[in-house]
Structure 1
Amino acid sequence: MIEVSGLTKRYGGTTAVKDLTFTVRPGQVTGFLGPNGAGKSTTLRLILGLHEPTGGTVTVDGRPFRDRPRGLRHVGSLLDAHDVHGGRTAAAHLFALARSNRIPRSRVGEVLREVGLAEVARRRIGGFSLGMKQRLGIAAALLGDPPVLLFDEPLNGLDPGGVKWVRDLFRRLADEGRTVFVSSHLMSEMEHTADQLIVIGRGELIAAESLAEFSARGTRQNVTVGTPAAVVLADLLTAEGAAVRAEGELLTVTGLTAARIGEIALEHRIPLRHLDTRSASLEEAFMELTADSAQYLAGGSR
């Protein structure tokens, strides 16, 4: 379990993390989301004791991570897949980590096989692709068989097969009762992977709740309508103030409820073949709820 309480980090006059309080529990995959510059990477480094907090506390299973000798037995992490010595082989890199953490050498072969790198164990890391480096970073995180795992953008550089493998790995680790904390900008993957979400913006907490609860906070709802009189119904709905997108006999309507659309169709004797309300996706809810926290905005946006 990771417990963050009142966590604050300032660099001179800049506050990167401000009074964060949240808990990451075992047995589930927790996604860590926020716009660019929100403070996600800083928070992960504070959890791992790589940065000293200005205020507040953060503990892993009840203790600051810095207080734990042989840390890989307690927490495995992947922060930057490029942060490895390119002149070493994959096996040598992991052997060094195993020795410094008093982990049996046999474990190196096990994790290399698990991540699909056994055949390139004696190749130098400098010749690895980004996807291979990501797999090596995951192998390092798994090396000590830790109860807590942190990953920062672990899907970068992976092909579709690799993405599915990582998704299945996270689910298995959570099902084994481990704490799995994953920072990612890929909303579609978090929608398929995460059980819980921690969402921050400008260093402050926006939400700490289930994925379903967060998605439901998005106010935008679309209604899909199927009708052979799509053109006529689209004009009527537009006149009522709705935004309508038409694709053949299918309309996507924003701004009116399904009940009101049904009433309008009935009044004008328009047959409906399909009428369904779709709540905001995770990406739509995220964009809406973090709009005021985005550090960088494209021209014409606010």
Structure 2
Amino acid sequence: MSYGAASGSVDRVIEVNHLTKRYGAVTAVNALTFTVRPGRVTGFLGPNGAGKSTTMRMILGLNRPTSGSATIDGKPFARHRAGLRHVGALLDAGDAHPGRSAAAHLWALARGNGLPRRRVAEVLSEVGLEGVARRRVGGFSLGMRQRLGIAAALLGDPPVLLFDEPVNGLDPEGVRWIRGMFRRLAEQGRTVLVSSHLMSEMENTAGHLIVIGRGQLIADESLTAFAARGAQARVTVRTPDPDELAAVLAIDGASVRRDGGDVLTVTGMSAGRVGELAFARRIMLYELAPRTASLEEAFMESTAGHADHVVDGRG
């Protein structure tokens, strides 16, 4: 099945304004401000313990902020009636009662939000669980529970969707499926916020990134702009004379790092210029390989020093 465009005239924007959450002397989220807009997948990234889950729980009204605000369509989530029609969320794949069947779990949610019974079968089909609809959730694998949580998020056909580490437990086929689903939902004009601590999960899906560390904002920009943070040219060089070559390159303005043995990593200089200088000084080269930093490297460099412990058991 395919979902139609989200209905209604709401702007579907998530707004976080100076959001702060403290647990005693520990600050889990620190004056965080950002906006999540419709029509694109927004990746919510940060190391484990950065405050992503705490922030998402405050957006959904599950945790009360110490200060600041989080709104959806201009008002707190708690003020939206029949919440699943407005916002769908997957925060914890273990939320379903293990003694209930998948269909019974979804029907309880549908009934409580005034949704028709047919939606249960529709979303089970969408996530590939129609064949196990009557099985008890307690017998599900982690990947199956993740799919059930996604089905619950889709149940009300909402214009706003939040997913916290949704690929946990999914096999490679499941990861490809969920990436495609995120893109389809965004193309329909929905607001899609997906948290992860892995840049690799976002580079083929997200169009915009919000990156945090220790509860503070590090980046709020397009995927392309964020990738440029790690795009500094680097050249890997192997030579039998690493000390001599390093000295020559440094004199010409390059930054040189010795990576052990006969390997140098050079930044601030093109591979062509490295080759020219080596040739002029008759320094033999075994290897001369230019490369550009990956998105994963951009993420690691941007969040270096921002990894922290998990607060209250959450990230």
Structure 1 and Structure 2 fold alike (TM over 0.5): yes
Unpaired stretches in structure 1, ≥5 consecutive residues: 297-302
Aligned Cα RMSD in Å?
2.6
Aligned mates of 1:269, 1:47 — CA distance in 2: 62
Q: State the SS of the aligned residue for 1:293.
A: coil
Aligned pair 1:152/2:164, yes or no? yes
Tell me the residue number matched to 2:119: 107
The aligned amino acid for 1:36 is N
Shift of 1:243: 3.6
Alignment counterpart, residue 255 of structure 1, candidates 257, 267, 292: 267
Establish whether residue 96 from structure 1 lines up as the match of residue 114 from structure 2. no
- 1:123 corresponds, among 135, 157, 166, to 135
1:204 & 1:27 partners in 2: Cα distance? 25
The one-letter code of the counterpart of 1:10 is R
Deviation, 1:124, is 0.2
SS at match of 2:99: coil
Aligned partners of 1:233 and 1:265 also within 8 Å: no
| 1:83 aligned partner, one-letter code | D
Give structure 2 stretches of 5+ with no counterpart.
1-12, 251-255, 310-315
Relative contact order (alpha carbons < 8 A, sep ≥ 6): 1 or 2 greater? 2
What residue in structure 2 maps to residue 67 of structure 1? 79
Distance 1:186 1:5 in 2: 25
Answer yes or no: is 1:287 the counterpart of 2:300. Answer: yes
Superposition deviation, residue 276 in structure 1: 6.8
Secondary structure of the equivalent of 1:43? helix
Q: What letter matches 2:94 in structure 1?
A: H
Q: CA–CA distance in 1 between the matches of 2:207 and 2:37?
A: 11
* TM-aligned CA distance change 1:291 to 1:109, over 3 Å: same
| Residues 45, 198 of structure 2: 8 Å contact kept | no
The equivalent of 1:27 in structure 2 is 39
Displacement after TM superposition at 1:12 (Å): 2.2
TM-superposed deviation, 1:8:
1.1
Aligned-residue offset at 1:253: 3.5
By how many angstroms is 1:233 displaced?
A: 8.1
Tell me the TM-score normalised to structure 1 length. Answer: 0.87
For 1:43-97, what per-residue CA distance to the aligned partner results, in whole angstroms no more than 9, with x for missing partners?
0000001111121111112221110011000110000101110000000000000
Residues in 1 aligned to 2:119 and 2:112: alpha-carbon distance in whole angstroms: 13
Q: Which amino acid aligns with 1:194?
A: A
| CA-CA distance at 1:221 after TM superposition | 3.7
Q: Which residue of 2 aligns with 1:82?
A: 94
Q: How far apart are the structure 2 equivalents of 1:188 and 1:252?
A: 27
Specify the code of the residue in structure 1 equivalent to 2:300.
M
- SS in structure 2 opposite 1:162? helix
Name the counterpart of 1:213: 225
Match of 1:299 in 2: none
Taking structure 2 as the reference length, what is the TM-score of the superposition? 0.84
What is the percentage of aligned positions where both structures have the same residue? 66
Q: Which amino acid aligns with 2:34?
A: F
Q: How many residues align?
A: 290
Which one-letter code corresponds to 2:126 in the other structure? E
Q: 1:163 aligns with which of 167, 175, 191?
A: 175
Q: 2:291 aligns with which of 278, 282, 292?
A: 278
Q: Which residue of 2 aligns with 1:264?
A: 277
Going from structure 1 to structure 2, the CA distance change for 1:237 and 1:169 (only over 3 Å counts) comes to: farther
1:268 to partner: Cα distance: 5.3
